[in-house]
Structure 1
Amino acid sequence: MTQELDAKVASGVREGRRRIPIRWMILGITSLLLVLNYADRAALGVAGSTIIQEFGLTKTEFGLISSIFFVGYAPFCFIGGWLSDKYGPRVVMGAAVGWWSLFTALTAAGTGYITFLIIRFFFGFGEGPQGAVTVKTMRNWFPQRQMGAAVGISQGSTPLGGAIGTPLVAGLIAFSGDWRTPFLVLGVLGLIMTVGYWVLMRDGPDQHPWATAEEREEMRAQAAAIGATGASETAATAHSIWYYIGRPHVLSTAFAFFGYAWVLYTFLSWFPVYLVDARGVHIKDVAVVGTLPWLLGMVGFMLGGFLTDWIAAKTGKPAAARRGVIIVGLFFTAVLMGCIGLVTSVTAAVALMSAVVFLLYLTGSQYFLMISDTIPAVRLGGVMGFVHFIANTSGIFAPLTVGIIIDQTKSWVLTFGVSAAIALLGVVVIAIWGRARALTA
């Protein structure tokens, strides 16, 4: 009797496991890594005023320290994506997390302008692959009808990292009296998470021992359906990566993504400094007011993914849905960004920046989805990596440009106006050249 009951319980557990696709665990693990990714990245901006004061840096020098990260980061967006096509997402992301966590911790060893430049340059190597590799992972695990949700949730975790990282870093600095403490804490946490990711992650359902039979069959059926339309290609039969990169909708998506990223990196690198220097906000209060834009950004990112999945299901035109949200969201992002420097109170500035980040991140998953909807899986990592690379070259120029403008003109109005103009240019480009046909229905 006992043996029969045990058998029934075990059978029920197995059935329950089959009913819950393991893809949601993969999404959860990836999302946690991206929370850490942006918490690590946001840490320098939050600690910026303290570091500038301790080491006597000019705004231009701190801008270059912020920008040098992207000199390492941007090429590894492409390199990481290309490597994920070759070796799989698990190997590439696992190595990337370990690398960026090590250099997060090493930031605490910075002793001046030159050492910060070196550390932040190598830190960028590890953070670069995350965007393309995440999209590759989601494409391997999720059917297209859920891709917007999967990319929206995973990439939407990046502003959550900023929302968590901002008060964490500010709080640790205020508590310990030392800006180095949060970098050590985040670095050690990242190294622990690297081990957990390697244990739990696999490149697709066919490689994962916990994947359900239904899950494996669904992804095989989707691959077969794509093959029936002639859109499924192997490494041997696909066009070269440069063929796909040269498509007008890929290049226009990359340019619009550049405008998006310029606004983002102006906010990421300088908004905490703006609050402290231009608005007189204390570092402790940055932990509160600096968190609100990130929280709204997280909502915007996730909402955007679900929204375009819904529009795509209604219209049968996924690529058009993604492009439409980019045009509308990025246009209003630019308008509100241009207004920030004109307001006269901290409350108004934070409210406007919160609205900017919400609208900006509403478009955030769409750039990834424009590519994942229209590029064969075998070339997806490399093409997405290229688009992410172009977008993140803005990170080389935006923080440095802001530093130069502030040093030379003292004008935050001009700073926010430049960001608005570049975002608007991205809207024009994708509106004219961004039409694309999805490879899958």
Structure 2
Amino acid sequence: MAKSEAGGAVPERRSSVRWLIASLAGAFAFVSYVQRMNISVAAELMMPDLGLTKIEMGQIFSSFLWGYAIFQLPTGRLGDAIGPRITLSIAALIWGITTVLTGLLPAVFVAGTLAMLGCMVAVRFVLGVSEAATFPVGSRAIRNWTPPSERAFANSFMMVGSASAAAASGPLVSSLMVHFGWRWAFYITSILAFAIAAVWYVVVRDDPRDHPRVSAKELLWINPERPTRANERASLFEVLRNRDILFLSLSYTCEGYVLFIFVFWLYIYLVEVRGFSLLNGGLVTSLPWLTAMVLTPIGGLVCDRLSEARGRFAGARTVIIVGYGLSGALLFAAAKSNGRVAVIAALCVSVGALYFAEPAFWATAVHFSKENAGAVSGIMNTAGILGGIVSTSVIPVIVKYFGWLPALGSGAAVAVTCAGLWLVIGRRPPMQSGLADSHSESRSRD
């Protein structure tokens, strides 16, 4: 306890600013996902209006993912260098601008022309570039603000944000486009991007020691006494030599393939195959993401508890193998089922299990990275987006020539492959000294 000038004891001020920062990172992920997912719902009206085929729509989806994938590492490095505050604020401003342009620019061109398609591809590519900062730099902010024993749960805030956006985007965008048209769906959702840019810049600080609301007790718990100079960050070559980071990234490629089946094709599948209306399809699409909202923080807590008891890798390995094994099995079951209720129930738990495992990936990336949190998270997420690019490009082709059962079955097979890869990750320490040793970090908070 501190003492007043009169000599009396003054209770030490408590604070929980780290959870405010984690919550804002979750809000950032929410807005990020709305900006990327709005087109997956609006596509149902955009395709006939703009004269686009499903394969051309897949190319537009993929253009976002190319920008998103290519700039994961550069934006992660940028976040490491100049901090999450300014990096994410600028990124969100670009989200708002490109989302407005997605609705505005196609009117300039004749529907069905190559110029119109090229315009859409270019705008969504730039959106992907700016959104590339979301998770690597958000993970860097979480790393700055939380001790190791809380990082899986803290990272789950971002996953809950993305899952809740996925749940909200279906009914929100379908309702907007039914009542106002698909163009206004983009104009209205862009407001969220401009708002989060302002809030993030005003509230967040890169270093807990610079935040006026952090108490001495919370600062001691966070333990921000870490090296921050650029020369203490590992080189890109050192990062890429780490065997476990490479296997982690390979497993996250599988994550991207499976996740983006749900992100980009779930609504269309429910409307075209399962017979839901445009509006009801949006409502039903939200149910798997609501399940994910519930299971994501549970997965983060379970990972933290298992990591404390059994070690960082053992905790993450258990959560991911269980989550992805279950997700793959239920995705295939949904594709095979004939009843609507059974299909929706299986899809709900499949997406939920996928997100149950998600915090374990990001906590593992931060564990490897030390002062390279943005870069390592960027490498891992790049791999995930490459899987997403394959998914958005291959799924419509499989559907066209073989049907939805093989398409969803491919996602189930990839999910099981991801679980299998985690039998290898962390079985021996990484080779370089510039990054965290696989087994050196204490099982408790350090």
TM-score scaled to structure 2, two decimals?
0.89
2:366 and 2:196 mapped to 1: Cα distance?
27
Residues 294-324 of structure 1, C-alpha deviations (whole Å, 9 max, x = no match): 1011112211111111112233x12210122
SS of equivalent residue, structure 1 residue 236: helix
Q: Percent identity, please.
A: 26
Equivalent of 2:382, from 389, 393, 403?
A: 389
SS of equivalent residue, structure 1 residue 78: helix
2:65 and 2:294 mapped to 1: Cα distance?
26
Contact between 1:205 and 1:215, CA under 8 Å: does it hold in 2?
no
1:165 paired with 2:180, answer no
Summarize the Cα distance change of 1:67–1:238 in structure 2 as closer, same or farther, 3 Å threshold. Answer: closer
Contact between 2:366 and 2:376, CA under 8 Å: does it hold in 1?
no
Summarize the Cα distance change of 1:340–1:438 in structure 2 as closer, same or farther, 3 Å threshold. Answer: farther
Contact between 1:153 and 1:305, CA under 8 Å: does it hold in 2?
no
Contact between 2:41 and 2:170, CA under 8 Å: does it hold in 1?
yes
Residues 161-210 of structure 1, C-alpha deviations (whole Å, 9 max, x = no match): 1111211111111222x111121111122112211211111102112122
1:71 paired with 2:75, answer no
Matched to 1:180, the amino acid is: R
Contact between 1:105 and 1:188, CA under 8 Å: does it hold in 2?
no
Shift of 1:143: 1.3
Residues 121-165 of structure 1, C-alpha deviations (whole Å, 9 max, x = no match): 111011111111111101111111211211112222110111112
Which residue in the other structure is 2:327 paired with? 333
1:37 and 1:279 mapped to 2: Cα distance?
28
1:323 and 1:62 mapped to 2: Cα distance?
36
Which residue in the other structure is 1:418 paired with? 410
Equivalent residue runs for 1:84-123 within 5 Å: 84-111=79-106, 112-123=116-127
Matched to 2:209, the amino acid is: D
Matched to 2:293, the amino acid is: M
Equivalent of 2:401, from 394, 408, 412?
A: 408
1:423 and 1:241 mapped to 2: Cα distance?
29
1:251 and 1:340 mapped to 2: Cα distance?
32
Which residue in the other structure is 2:32 paired with? 37
Matched to 2:131, the amino acid is: E
Equivalent of 1:439, from 428, 438, 441?
A: 441
Shift of 1:359: 0.6
2:230 and 2:191 mapped to 1: Cα distance?
38
1:192 paired with 2:195, answer yes
1:97 and 1:318 mapped to 2: Cα distance?
33
Shift of 1:100: 1.4
> Comparing 421-430 with 165-174, which one deviates more in the overlay?
421-430
Which residue in the other structure is 2:352 paired with? 358
Contact between 1:256 and 1:423, CA under 8 Å: does it hold in 2?
no
1:374 paired with 2:368, answer yes
Matched to 1:426, the amino acid is: C
Equivalent residue runs for 1:1-400 within 5 Å: 18-111=13-106, 112-176=116-180, 178-220=181-223, 223=225, 235-315=230-310, 317-376=311-370, 378-400=371-393
Contact between 2:245 and 2:368, CA under 8 Å: does it hold in 1?
no
2:173 and 2:233 mapped to 1: Cα distance?
46
Contact between 1:60 and 1:407, CA under 8 Å: does it hold in 2?
no
Shift of 1:402: 1.1
1:21 and 1:271 mapped to 2: Cα distance?
38
2:19 and 2:213 mapped to 1: Cα distance?
12
SS of equivalent residue, structure 2 residue 369: coil
Q: How many aligned positions are there?
A: 419
Matched to 1:80, the amino acid is: T
Residues 251-273 of structure 1, C-alpha deviations (whole Å, 9 max, x = no match): 11111111111111011111101
2:387 and 2:398 mapped to 1: Cα distance?
16
Shift of 1:391: 1.1
Gap runs ≥5 in structure 2: 107-115, 428-437
> Comparing 104-113 with 348-357, which one deviates more in the overlay?
104-113
Residues 210-232 of structure 1, C-alpha deviations (whole Å, 9 max, x = no match): 22122223333x647xxxxxxx7
